[in-house]
Amino acid sequence: MRVLVLADHDAGLLAPATARIVQGATALGAIDLLVVGDDIAAIAQSAAALAGVAKVLTGKGSLAADGLAARLAALAGDYDYVVASAGSVGKDVMPRLAALLDVMPVTDIVTILGPTRFERPIYAGNAVQTVTDNQPRHILTLRASAFRPAATGNTADIEALDSDIASLVTLLANHRTLSDTPDLATAQIVVGGGVALGSAENFQLIEKLAKRLGAAVGATRAAVDAGYAPNDWQIGQTGKIIAPDLYIAIGISGALQHLAGIQGAKKIVAINTDAEAPLVKLADVALIGDLFETIPQLIAELDKRGVTH
């Protein structure tokens, strides 16, 4: 079986999610990794180093969804599977590709049971559905957080594709949230804050604690809607799905939408004044107290112990 994986990259770097998608896709067969964009030589080298990659294909052209879907459609005839991350790019591109190929995509896969059997969460993560896909070609998106990253040290061949694929979309501007914290979707430690922080200024407590721990910063939808945190920090059913080794939830009651995004967390620590909050009851460790007292104390203790990143 042959597998084509669409690489995610941004700002000249291969996205951490790509290594996880490659690791998950190794269960399906030999992998070719497609990298599309301009000035992608360094990205292609990083992609070639991932274990399990047989060949890296590079192509110049637009990263708009219509152009990527058309390029994947042109290559799909040589592959049994076309796979992407279930992130923003994959959610935009893969349904378009499936429509071009007249097949049904299988999305949000968290477990690969066999060549045509997959598990995916449904009902906001409250149930897991087993899907059998007997189509001649399989269009899949995998949740990066469900798989460990592939090892590095490989030296796969890099092959440039001949033709460019035109897009009807013109990129006008990029609006970015600059941050030196780890990628939220693949971080091992995440510190999340809720609307109980009260303001964007107070939310800096979350950022300060995360920096001490070398963690990614997350937020509830309510905190994002209130303007306390940017959109790309949102965790939940309509935000990012995370599966860290440790999730520290501060001032978060635990709405169903948020719980759907954290079910992959290995350990959950909840800090809240409400002992009856759903997330407090779900947590492995709960600290009942005022976050404006406990978080500064926790940061001070970390500083005393020399815990910093």
Q: Which residues contact 9 (CB under 8 A, 6 or more apart)?
A: 15, 18, 35, 37, 40, 43
Note the pLDDT of residue 155. 94
Asked if the model's pLDDT at residue 152 lies above 80, the reply is yes
- Whether 309 has a pLDDT exceeding 70, the answer reads no
What lies within 8 Å, CB to CB, of 305 at 6+ separation is none
Give the mean pLDDT of the chain. Answer: 92
Report pLDDT digits (tens) over 103-134.
999 999 999 999 999 999 988 778 899 999 99
pLDDT at 198: 95
Tell me if domain 2-160 and domain 184-304 are identical in fold.
Answer: yes
Of 92, 93, 91, give the one whose Cα is nearest residue 73. Answer: 93
> Could you read off the pLDDT of 222-277 as tens digits, one per residue?
999 999 999 989 999 888 989 899 999 999 999 988 998 998 899 999 999 999 99
CATH number of 2-160: 3.40.50.620
For the chain, give every domain's residue range: 2-160, 184-304
Indicate if the pLDDT at residue 164 is higher than 90: no
Q: What is the CATH superfamily name and number for domain 184-304?
A: TPP-binding domain (3.40.50.1220)
Task: Please give the average per-residue pLDDT across 143-166, as a whole number.
Answer: 90
pLDDT in tens, 60-102: 877 889 999 999 999 999 999 999 999 889 999 999 999 999 9
